[in-house]
Amino acid sequence: MDNKKIDFVFGIHCHQPVGNFSHVFEDCYRKSYLPFIEMVRKHPGIRISFHYCGILLKWFGENHPEFLRMLKEMVDSGQAEAIGGGIYEPILPSIPEEDQAAQIRLMSSLLREKLGCSPKGAWLAERVWEPHLPRALRAAGIDFTLVDDHHFRLAGLNDRDIHGYFTTEEEGMPLSIFPINEKLRYLVPFKGIDQVLEFFEQTLRQDLRQDLRHGSQSEENGDPRLITLVDDGEKFGVWPGTHKWVYEEGWLVKFLQLLDENPWIRTLTLSEAMRKHLSRGMIYLPPGSYKEMLEWSKGFWRNFLVKYPESNNLHKKMLFVSAKVRELKDLPGNAAFRQARDELLQGQCNDPYWHGIFGGLYLNYLRGACYSHLIHAEAIADKELRGGREDWVSVEETDLNKDGKPEVILSNSALSAVISPFSGGQMFELDYKAGPYFNFTDTMTRRFEEYHAKIRESARGGREGGVKSIHEMFKLKTEGLEELLKYDLYRRVSLIDHFLREGMDIPAFRDSPPVTGFIFSPYAYRIKKDRNGAGVEMSREEGGISVEKTVMLGKQGSALSAGYIISNRAREEKHFIFGVEFNLTLLAGNDPKRYFEIPGAALEDSSLASTGETAGAGEVRLIDGWQGLCLSLSFREKPVVWRFPIYTVTQSESGIEQTYQGSTILPHWKISIPPGGKWENEIILEIKKL
């Protein structure tokens, strides 16, 4: 046993999303990033590999350049190896291959600039793997990557064979793949040092038993077992309770001492491991990720794009903008292309594209940040592709969200709107392109999540175990949250046509609106364009009532008009309440600089999180003092206006919380139309700078 060893690759992956708050970066730096590296540097004999996403590397350079100097010293001394990847941490298989290459190459360039090294390995965001990745990675100069050992189980290997590293290929381009040990991932840093040591000793005993069965495989005659653990750096100080455990109670000191005091555990960087070990052979891995991610996504990451239309819209917007940006490459000069490409790549940051146990897609500021970068990239591309002209308007019929049915995109230099004739003639995207760049319809629909059952169980007093686990894990009371667990019958978008019941009030409409074919069914449509503007005319008839809806955008300015003609095709007079629902967001429901304004009305509570009714409103304004914007809805025929907030109930690292996702504005009119008669109105939606 004395001549037996284990080779151990130890490392961390650290990431913060595009659009996260600066205080979160600083808090993570103080609690985790800095103390971890300071402590590891005191043990120069221990080799580590580290991956800091490009977002963090740039933040370090602007806020803590001394930290980059520490990392560079570790790289220069050979104690550490820097791992590359996508500079803005995208899910690589979900973005165009040309963008994959750009993400990886820009990250490699950033590492050369900041740390003076050229990475040979790439970190895969969320360890999402698809079989075509080797081609893109190798083309960008990458030799190896890492995924969870669960990927290898999916390929049919058993646990005793999942160690070392393997080789795969695509179109003959080979790539080495290291399996991250799942057992060790759950031990470090959450269990005692004795349990970690027991893991290594048990692994060594397994090797000895294999030697006895198959003949001597000592280090002189074969490689020692190679075990890899590279996992979230935030586990070392940021996750709840870990700063006290890891640093104040000394877990990390004990762990590093364990590695120092047991020379039979030899630490290597990933590149050193490849030099000292041969590949264990060929393997082809199916699409996968870590085990929890596969549970959340029902086995395949792209299923998030099916479960959440909001994620799909963001993703397809990204693909749409990516195609526009690629067109710039052929134009003279590359400055605009480089700027637009960087904005595009930032909009590919993975966090708001999916949802697991924490935040993700439900965090409106992360969605908003990605949309902002994508809209900025689109604005740059539009300006360059049209030679700097601002007096233009386009109407494009295309299947933007790739659901097999076309949408209509209206666009000019200041505004872009996406209308879905096949989904009630509704508008699910409204982008302001004149800067600041913002999607006013980036709202979220309330839908069931598995952890909602725990909230209900807790509110009822629940079984022991279910209640205990939620309180122990999140340290949070759930009283009052159960009443927010309401689910929408349709997507919370805009230009949703409603026929309301007499006597319906705001709570009833918010939680149980009447459902008609005007919400879910297709509208017949045709494209309309003249010298003044472009738009789409849509119509639908049901129950003797015909609704004609025409949405138009002019060549200049940021005003969108929605004209309505409602006709009575029946033989008797029709009496009803007609409303048009808008769901809009300015990100924060209780920010004093973001609020409602209704000319002529004194609002007791003007916050975006307020609920109220205003009769005879000629205009409703949503004011954003931070961005200097005002979104105005004005009406030819004055309606009664309802307003109320939409909250989702989600999990976060801090516990169960409600998240403001937008405000619903419902102008509605009480209408009587005789047989053969009609009612006309027009709504103007305009975005103005303050």
Residue-wise pLDDT tens digits, 211-252: 555 444 434 345 799 999 999 999 999 998 999 999 999 999
Q: What angle do CA 397, 401, 404 make, to 5 degrees?
A: 75
The SS3 of residue 534 is strand
- CA-atom Rg of the chain in angstroms: 29
Q: List helix spans (H) across 117-192.
A: 133-139, 149-154, 182-187
Q: Which helix (H) or strand (E) holds 515?
A: none
What element of type H or E holds 97? helix 97-115
CB 11 within 8 Å of CB 217: no
Q: Containing H/E element for 313? A: helix 309-327
Residue 331, amino acid: L
Q: Write the CA distances from 317 to 306, 438, 677, integer angstroms.
A: 15, 13, 41
Asked whether residue 56 carries a pLDDT value surpassing 50, the answer given is yes
Residue reference for tokens 């989600």:
650
Say how many C-beta atoms besides its own lie within 10 A of residue 488's C-beta. 16
Percent pLDDT > 90 in the chain is 87
Contact 282, 165 (CB under 8 A): no
pLDDT of residue 345: 98
What type of residue sits at position 440? F
- Identity of residue 298: K
Phi, psi (deg, nearest 5) at residue 147:
-140, 170
Residue 407 pLDDT > 90: yes
Which amino acid makes up residue 242? T
- Domain map of the chain by residue range? 6-296, 308-389, 448-486
pLDDT in tens, 75-84: 999 999 999 9
CA angle 104, 106, 112 (to 5 degrees): 105
Active-site residue set: 126, 232
Are the CB atoms for 349 and 17 separated by under 8 Å?
A: yes
For the segment 263-285, the average pLDDT, to the nearest whole number, is: 97
Question: Which among 150, 10, 28 has a CA at the least distance from the CA of 80?
Answer: 10
First to last CA, the chain: 76
Give the Cα separation of 240 and 565 in Å (integer).
56
Mean pLDDT calculated for residue range 423-452: 95
Please name the fold of domain 6-296.
7-stranded beta/alpha barrel (3.20.110)
Amino acid at 149: D
Predicted confidence at residue 2, as pLDDT, reads 53
Q: What is the mean pLDDT of residues 551-573?
A: 96
With a threshold of 0.75, does the pTM exceed it? yes
Contact 560, 685 (CB under 8 A): yes
